Amino acid sequence: MNWGGRTLINVLAPRIVLAVLTLFIISLVIFFSVELLPGDTAEAMLGHDATVEALATLRRELQLDSPAYVRYWRWIIDLLHGDLGKSLSSGRAVSDLLAQRLPNTFFLAGFAALISVPLSFVLGVITALYRERAVDRGVNFVALAASSLPDFFVAYALILIFSVHLGWVPPISIISPESSLAERLYLTGLPALTLTFATSAYMLRMTRASILSLLSSPYIEMARLKGVSSGRVIVGHALPNALGPIANVTALTLAYLVVSVVVVETVFAYPGLGQLFVDSVSKRDIPVVQVVAMVFASTYIVLNLVADMVALAANPRLMHPR
Amino acid sequence: MAKVSERATDDISRRQLLGGASALVAAGAAGFAPGAAQAAGPRKGGLIKFGLEGGAQDNVLDPGTYGTQFVQSAGYMWGNGLVEIDGQGKLIPELAVEWNPDATAKTWVFKIRSGVEFHNGKTLTAEDIAYSLNHHRKKDSKSLARSVFAGVSDIKATAPLEITVTLDSANVDLPGLMADYHLLIMPDGGDPNAGIGTGPYVIEKFEPGVIVRGKRNEKYWKAGRAHADVVEIIAINDIVARQSALQGGVVHFITRPDPKLGKNNPALKWFDLPSAMHYLFAMRCDSAPFDNNDLRLAMKYAVDRQDLLTRVYANSGKLGNDHPVPAFDPMFSAEVPIRAYDPDKAKFHFKKSGFSGPVQLSVSDAGFTSATAAATLYKEHAAKAGIDIALNRVPADGYWSDVWKKKPFCPAYWGGRVTAGLMLQAVYTSQSPNNETFWQRPAFDKLLAQAQAELNVARRKEMFHDLQMMLWEDGGTVQPLFANTLFATSAKVDGFAPSPLFTAFRAAEQLYLTS
C-alpha cells in the first residue's frame, strides 16, 4: 500500500520498535515490583505453619535462592528462545496455562465487543441525530449511569434479576474446552452484558461528540444548504471524518475489555486470564505474572496500532504531519 | 492389649458425651437430624455439584499440597485415609481396621483393610500405605504434612496387611495424626498427582482452579456412601457468586455462605457448626512489654468476648478462654474458670504491671477474618479499663512473614488439630517453630510429653486440665473465640454428616439427591 510516497512499513516500523521497547520496560517494572512485595512463592504456597526445611527445599527447587537479577536474566533468555517458562507454584508450562485461559478471555471480550461496539456506535449516531431530544437524554442518562456503577455491582444486580429471580441464565459461567459455541454464548451472556454496560457509555459519547463537533464545520453547512437530509449529512458526510477518534476510543475500550475482566471473571467464576493473573500475583508466581502482563500490554499496543491504522485509512491527511 | 481396647471404649464414650453436648446439638438445630436420613434410605444416582472456595491455578492433586477446601474435597473424592473422624469427633476405621500401641505408646501397629481395590485395579497392601505416608516424610519432601511426622522415626510394612509406626517419644495421639487429610493412600510407587486411590469417585476431569469431576467408583468398599453417579466440584471463590450459584440452583452445596444473605430462604439448609478454628491476639512473652504477666492478664480481662462474637461474627462461634482446646474435645477441661470481661481486674493488673502509655497492636485482616473490626472493638473495651490500645494497620501482603512472630502484639488464627495434644504441641511448646508468643515453659513441655505418653484417660485428662490452666493463667494468647464453620445446601440434597474437624471434606461421598 502506498500513501503519498510513504509506505505502510515506514509508518509501522518505528512503532513496532517502540512497542518492543515498551514491552521490555514493562517486563522490568513488573518483575521488580513483584520482587518488592513481601513474601515469596515458597511462603505463599506452604502457608504460615510451614516447616523451615520444607521452605528451604522448595526455595532450592524453584531456584528462588539465586538473586533477582539472575532470575530475570534467565527468564528473558528463555523468552528469547521462545520458552515462556514454567509456573513456580504448579510446575505447569506457562504456555499451557495461556493456551487454556487466553481463548476464554478473548472469547468473553470478543462477545462483549460484538454487543457493545455496534450498539454504542448506532446509539451514538442516533443521539447525534436527535440531540437534545428525549431519546438523546434518555440514552445518555442510562449509559452514564451504567458506566458509573462499579462492574461488580452491575454484575450482582444482573445475577439477582436474570439468575436468581427470573432463572433464565446461570449465575456462574463455568465453561470447559468441550463446551459448544451455543453453550458458551449462553453461559457468558451475563458477563458479556456486564462488560457491555461498563464500556458502552464511553464509545457512545465519543461517537456522539465527534459527530456533533463536525456538524458546525463549513462543508456540513454546505451539504445542508444543498438540501441533504440530516440523516445523510451525518452518515455520509460527518461520520467518515469522525471515524479516527471513534476508532481510537473503540481500540482503547477493546483493550480495556481484555484487561479489565479481572473483577467480572471473579464474580462469574469464569476461567479466564484475569483469574490466572490474580492467583499468580498472590502466589508471587513471577513467570506467570510476567507473561500475563506481557499479554495485556501487547493487547494494548496492538489495538492502538490498529486504531492508528484505521484512523490513517479514514483520514490520509494524518500521514503527513505538519 | 486388653487394657488398650478398654481405653478405646472409654475414649469413645467420653467423646460421644462431650461431642454430643455441643457439636451435634448445634447441628441438629441447624436442620440436620442424624439417623433420620438413613431411615428412608439414600437415593442413588444423579449429579451433585459443589461450589467451593480455594480454587487456584496452582491446584494439583498431590495430597501433600492440600491447603484449601477445593482440593481437600477433591482429595476425598479419589482417596481414603487410614482413619476417619466421625460426627462426634471420634476416630473410626477407614483403610486401617484397627490400631494398637505397645505398652509405651512408642510403637504402633495398624491393621489394614483387606480386599480394597484402587481405581487402577491394584489391590491395597501395606506397601501402598507405607509408600503413601513416606511420601510426606522423605528427606526432600515439601509436603505440608511434613510436621505431622516430626516425632516419627520409622514407618514400614511388617506384614501384607500391617504397618508399624515407630516414634521417637510416646504419643497416644498417633491415630489422630493419621486422620490428617493430607495422608491419602496411593498405590505403591504411583504418581502423587495422578489422583488414583481407593476413594468413592474416579477423577474424570481436573482443571486447576476451575472444576473437578468424578464418576462413582462402582467397586467402592465403604457401605452406604457414594450415592450420586457423578460429583462435580466447581471453584467459586467469590462469596456472593457462591451464594447465588446455590440460590440459582447451579450447585447443591457451598462452603462459607454469607450469614446475612438468604438465611430465611426455605429452599436452603444452613449448617452453623462449632469448629476448632480459633482467633487470637498473640503477645510476645520473650520481650518487653509482654514479658510481664500482669500486662498479659490485663489484656486478657480487657476484652469483651461476647460483644465481639455478637457484633463482629453474628454469634457464629463459641467463646474462647485463652487456650486452644475446643469444648467438644475430650481433653477439654470444664474446670478452667471462664474469663469474663472485667474492666476492674484489667485495670488492677495493668496498674500492677507498671506499664504506661498505649499498647501497640499491629493489625490486618490477614490475621483472622475481620481482625481489624475485632481489634477496633477490643480497643473500645480496653478503653473502659483505662488501657489505651494503639491500632497500627499493617498490610495483608507479607503479614505472615513480616508481622506475625515479629511484632509484640498481633492477631493470628489456627484451624485446630485433630486432638488437643497435637494442637498444644504445634503452637505452645518451647521448640515449636509455630510458637507465636515465644512463651517457653519447660514445665509445660514436660507435662505435655507425659500426657502424650499416658494411656490412662482419666490421668491424661487431669494433666490436660493443668496444661489448659497454665495457658489460661500465664500464656501469651488472648483468645476471644472459636469460629463456627458455615455451610449451606440446597433442599434437594441430604445426608451431610459433618465432623468437628475437617468438617465437610467427605461431603462428596455423603450427599445424595432427595428428588
Average pLDDT, chain B: 88
Sign of the C-alpha dihedral, residues B47, B52, B58, B62? Answer: negative
Residue type, B180: D
Within a domain: A240: yes
- Interface A–B counts its CB contacts (< 8 A) at 124
Query: How far, CA to CA in Å, does A184 sit from each of A77, A155, A187, A207, B368?
Result: 38, 18, 5, 30, 38
**pLDDT tens by residue, B320-365:** 999 999 998 999 999 999 999 999 999 999 999 999 999 999 999 9
Which residues on adjacent β-strands are paired with residue B270?
B488
| Chain A contact probe: residue of B57, B244, B246 with most A CBs at under 10 A | B57
Average pLDDT score over residue span B214-240: 93
Asked if residues B185 and B117 have their Cβ atoms less than 8 Å apart, the reply is: no
Cα-flanking dihedrals φ and ψ of residue B510, to 5°?
-95, -40
How sure is the predictor about A215, in pLDDT bands with cuts at 50, 70 and 90?
confident
| Per-residue pLDDT at B16 exceeds 50 | no
Who has greater pLDDT, A255 or B334? B334
Selected residue with higher pLDDT from B2 and A267: A267
- B457-474 helix and B420-428 helix, angle to the nearest 10 degrees: 40
Band of pLDDT at residue B14, cut at 50, 70 and 90 = very low
- Flag whether residue A105 sits within 8 Å of chain B, measured between CB atoms: no
pLDDT at B2 > cutoff 50: no
Q: Note the pLDDT of residue B123.
A: 96
Residue type, A276: L
Contact criterion met (CB below 8 Å) for B261 and B454 = no
Name the residue among B485, B484, B481 with its Cα closest to residue B504: B485
Contact map slice: A 143-162 vs B, CB within 8 A: 156, 159-160
Residue A6 has pLDDT above 80, yes or no: no
Angle at A244 between CA A238 and CA A248, to 5 degrees: 135
pLDDT the model gives residue B9:
35
The pLDDT tens digits of the residues spanning B135-164 come to 999 887 888 888 788 889 999 999 999 999
Rounded to an integer, the average pLDDT of B447-463 is 94
Residues of the domain holding A155: 95-319
Query: Residue A164: closest CA among chain B residues belongs to which residue?
Result: B248
Q: Do A164 and B248 touch (CB under 8 A)?
A: yes
Reply yes or no on whether the pLDDT at B468 is more than 60.
Answer: yes
Compute the Cα dihedral for B77, B511, B42, B32 and give only its sign. Answer: positive
Q: DSSP string of A157-226?
A: HHIIIIIIIS-SS-SS----TT--HHHHHHHTHHHHHHHHHHHHHHHHHHHHHHHHHHHTSHHHHHHHHT
Supply the pLDDT for residue B178. 94
Q: Do B57 and A53 touch (CB under 8 A)?
A: no
Q: Is residue A47 part of a domain?
A: no
Residue in chain B nearest A282 by alpha carbon: B397
Residue A240 has pLDDT above 50, yes or no: yes
Pairwise CA distance, residues A107 & A175, whole Å: 11
Q: How many whole angstroms separate alpha carbon A230 and alpha carbon A215?
A: 10
Q: Look at residues B78, B81, B115 and name the one whose alpha carbon lies nearest to residue B197.
A: B78
Q: Which of A42-46, A130-134, A204-208, A279-283 has the lowest mean pLDDT?
A: A42-46
Give the DSSP H/E element, type plus range, for residue A244. helix A239-259
Query: Measured between beta carbons, which residues in chain A are less than 8 angstroms from residue B137?
Result: none
Residue of A90, A97, A174 with shortest CB distance to B234:
A174
Give me the sheet containing B152-159, strands edge to edge. Answer: B96-101, B107-112, B162-167, B152-159
Q: What is the pLDDT of residues B362-383, one digit of tens each?
A: 999 989 989 999 999 999 999 9
**Neighbouring residues of B334: CB distance < 8 A, sequence distance ≥ 6:** none
What is the C-alpha to C-alpha distance for residues A178 and B149, in angstroms, rounded to an integer? 42
Q: Name every residue whose Cβ is closer than 8 Å to that of residue A246 and which is 6 or more positions away in sequence.
A: A121, A124, A203, A206, A207, A210
Give the distance from residue B97's alpha carbon to the nearest chain A alpha carbon, in angstroms.
Answer: 31
DSSP per residue, B299-348: HHHT--HHHHHHHTTTT-EEE--SSS--TTSTT--TTSPP----HHHHHH
Out of B142, B211, B250, name the one closest to residue A58 (CB).
B142
Any domain includes A175: yes
CA distance B191 to B63: 11
Question: Between chains, do B210 and A174 touch, taking CB under 8 Å as contact?
Answer: yes
Contact A163 B248 (CB under 8 A): yes
Structure confidence at residue B222 (pLDDT): 94
- In b/e form, how buried is each residue of B369-402, taking b as 16+ CB within 10 angstroms? bbbbebbebbbebbeebebebebeebeebbbbee
- pLDDT digits 0-9 by tens, A155-168: 888 888 988 888 88
Using CA atoms, how far apart are residues B220 and B227, in angstroms rounded to an integer? 11
A228: CATH: 1.10.3720.10
Q: Across the interface, do B240 and A58 touch by the CB < 8 Å criterion?
A: no
* CA distance to partner chain A, nearest, from residue B386 (Å): 34
pLDDT attached to residue B337: 92
Which of A253, A260, A264 lies closest to A191, judged by CA?
Answer: A264
pLDDT band, residue B496 (cuts 50/70/90): very high
Interval B43-68 mean pLDDT: 91
Q: C-alpha cell of B273?
A: 457448626
Of B482 and A170, more confident: B482
Shortest distance between the Cα of B194 and any Cα of chain A, in A, equals 14
Give a yes or no: residue A223 inside a domain.
yes
pLDDT value at A259 more than 90: no
From A45's Cα to the closest Cα of chain B, the distance in A is 8
Does B453 contact chain A (CB < 8 Å)? no
Distance in angstroms (rounded) separating the CA atoms of residues B34 and B87: 9
A87 touches chain B (CB under 8 A): yes
Please report the pLDDT score of residue B122 as a whole number: 96
**Least confident span in A2-6, B395-399, B491-495:** A2-6
For residues B441, B286, B168 and B197, what is the CA-based torsion angle, rounded to 10 degrees?
A: 120
Q: Does B465 touch chain A (CB under 8 A)?
A: no
Angle at B255 between CA B252 and CA B260, to 5 degrees: 100
ipTM, interface predicted TM-score of the complex = 0.73
Q: Is the pLDDT of residue B30 over 50?
A: no
Give the confidence band of A236 by pLDDT, cuts at 50, 70, 90. Answer: confident
Of A49, A89, A171, the CB nearest to B245: A171
Residues of B in contact with A46 (CB under 8 A): 142, 144
Whole-number pLDDT of residue B18: 35
Find, among A19, A59, A7, the residue nearest to A305 by Cα: A19
B244 touches chain A (CB under 8 A): yes
Q: What is the pLDDT of residues B204-223, one digit of tens each?
A: 999 888 899 999 999 999 99
Digit-coded pLDDT (tens) for A92-109: 888 888 888 899 998 999
What confidence score (pLDDT) does residue A48 get?
A: 66
pLDDT for B325 equals: 96
Cβ separation A43–B434 shorter than 8 A: no
Q: Which residue has the higher pLDDT, B1 or B429?
A: B429
Q: Output the pLDDT for position A62.
A: 79
Nearest chain B alpha carbon to A274: B57
B406 touches chain A (CB under 8 A): no
- Strands B268-283 and B409-414, by their bridges, are antiparallel
Query: Looking at chain B from residue 408 to 437, which residues have their Cβ under 8 Å from any Cβ of chain A?
Result: 426, 433-434
B59 vs A contacts (CB less than 8 Å): 90
Greatest mean pLDDT among A235-239, B33-37, B51-55, B398-402 lies in B51-55
In a domain, A76, yes or no: no
Is A140 part of any domain? yes
Report yes or no on A85 lying in a domain.
Answer: no
> Which letter does DSSP use for residue B148 in this model?
G
Whether the pLDDT of residue B193 is over 70: the answer is yes
Q: Which three cell numbers stand for residue A228?
A: 441533504
- B-chain CB neighbours of A292 within 8 Å are none
∠ CA B347-B351-B354 to the nearest 5 degrees?
150
B100-111, pLDDT tens digit by residue?
999 989 999 999
The answer to whether A269 contacts B400, with C-beta atoms less than 8 Å apart, is no
**Burial per residue of B477-503, b for 16 or more beta-carbon CB atoms within 10 angstroms, e otherwise:** bbbbbbbbbbbbbbebbbbbbbbbbbb
A8, part of any domain: no
Beta carbons of A57 and B245 less than 8 Å apart? no
Mark yes or no for CB contact A269/B236 under 8 Å.
yes
Residue B411 has a pLDDT of 96
The percentage of residues in chain B with a pLDDT greater than 70, rounded to a whole number, is: 92
Number of domains in chain A: 1
